[in-house]
């Protein structure tokens, strides 16, 4: 089954995805005050600060279409661990579907095709290619289910083994548990579980702005594989708080996360540490103002 998640994960170079939402800093909003006389003169609102868009996350550079949709992701990897040095993901939007083609050193590795319903991913087909990027190696299918709060609650993976991922949320709407089981003739067999603990959110952008920034906060690589893609805002609402700890059941390490913020409240650096406090890695984040929003 570990091979399954390597297949489904489109961003294998991303150790942590982010749920980053975009909005104006509350400190930049002037309250509307009424005059004391009977005419009640209203103060005009200030000019809005243009929303920023994530343009670089760690070793990945993001390219967008003019309408804000993700167009391409370019990244570099360590050949000692991955076997390739560069990768690229190209996104296409065709009717109610999104197609993402992933290339390793300019050789096609896989194609992911999402069907959308009401703006959310409903089905996924993953085609993996043999060495050389021409002949098909395998095909995987997945289906997504949501609740009335637009939260992803279940992913059904259909490969050689039928598997189900169930997502649980706390009372604030943050995704706190991803439970993976294999559905066998003898019943459901536990495979893996990820748990997340959150830190209090303080200022900064919290609302998704039509897909212009990442719709995720911090999730582990294997969890991203279960969902599909860390850069597509088509998987519902996962919460607005930042993860402070991730716990993986079948892996000994528990990771903690800290964040450095810029003046607007955006995360400018993500720091990953072991539970003991030992440093693991950092990822720098860079933002740019979309051309259409520039003053």
Three-state secondary structure along 199-227? ECCCCCCCCCCCCCCCCCCCEEHHHHHHH
Of the ranges 9-23, 162-176, 202-216, which is most confident?
162-176
The percent of the chain in helix, strand and coil, each rounded to the nearest 5, is: 10, 50, 45
Max mean pLDDT range (58-67, 91-100, 171-180, 202-211)? 91-100
Predicted local distance difference test score (pLDDT) of residue 24: 31
What pLDDT does residue 173 have?
85
CB 102 within 8 A of CB 116: no
Nearest to 70 by CA among 58, 57, 86, 53: 53
Enter the DSSP assignment of 32. P
Q: Which residue has the higher pLDDT, 223 or 189?
A: 189
Whether the per-residue pLDDT at 60 is higher than 50: the answer is yes
- Residues 237-260 pLDDT 10s: 887 778 888 888 887 778 898 888
Specify the pTM. Answer: 0.76
- Residue 51 pLDDT: 67
- Segment 71-88, tens digit of pLDDT: 999 999 988 888 899 999
What distance in Å separates the CA atoms of residue 217 and residue 175, rounded to the nearest whole number? 10
Q: What is the mean pLDDT of residues 35-39?
A: 38
Closest Cα partner for 241 from 223, 259, 227? Answer: 259
Rounded Cα gap, residues 116 and 114, in angstroms: 6
Q: What is the dihedral of CA 239, 264, 230, 250, to 10 degrees?
A: -60
Alpha-carbon distance 245 to 193, whole Å?
14
Instruction: Report whether pLDDT(49) > 90.
Output: no
Residue 108 pLDDT greater than 90, yes or no: yes
- Tell the burial category of 182 from Cβ atoms under 10 Å away from its Cβ (0-12, 13-18, 19+): middle
pLDDT in the model for residue 225? 63
Intra-chain end-to-end CA distance of the chain, in Å: 50
């Amino acid at each position: 089954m570990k091979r399954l998640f390597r297949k489904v994960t489109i961003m294998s170079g991303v150790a942590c995805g982010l749920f980053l939402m975009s909005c104006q800093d509350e400190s930049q909003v002037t309250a509307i005050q009424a005059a004391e006389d009977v005419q009640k003169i209203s103060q005009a609102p200030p000019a809005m600060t243009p929303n920023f868009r994530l343009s670089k996350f760690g070793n990945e550079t993001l390219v967008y279409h003019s309408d804000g949709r993700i167009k391409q992701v370019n990244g570099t990897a360590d050949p000692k661990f991955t076997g390739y040095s560069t990768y690229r993901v190209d996104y296409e939007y065709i009717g109610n579907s999104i197609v993402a083609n992933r290339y390793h050193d300019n050789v096609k590795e896989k194609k992911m095709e999402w069907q959308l319903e009401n703006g959310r991913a409903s089905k996924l087909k993953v085609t993996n290619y043999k060495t050389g990027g021409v002949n098909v190696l395998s095909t995987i299918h997945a289906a997504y289910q949501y609740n009335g709060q637009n939260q992803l609650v279940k992913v059904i993976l259909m490969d050689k083994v039928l598997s189900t991922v169930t997502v649980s949320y706390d009372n604030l709407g943050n995704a706190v548990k991803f439970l993976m089981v294999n559905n066998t003739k003898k019943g459901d067999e536990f495979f893996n579980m990820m748990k997340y603990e959150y830190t209090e959110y303080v200022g900064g952008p919290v609302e998704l702005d039509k897909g212009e920034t990442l719709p995720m906060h911090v999730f582990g690589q294997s969890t991203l594989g279960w969902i599909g893609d860390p850069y597509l805002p088509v998987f519902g609402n996962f919460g607005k708080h930042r993860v402070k700890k991730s716990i993986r059941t079948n892996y000994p390490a528990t990771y903690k996360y800290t964040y450095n913020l810029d003046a607007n409240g955006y995360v400018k650096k993500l720091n990953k540490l072991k539970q003991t406090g030992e440093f693991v890695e950092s990822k720098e984040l860079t933002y740019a103002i979309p051309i259409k929003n520039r003053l």
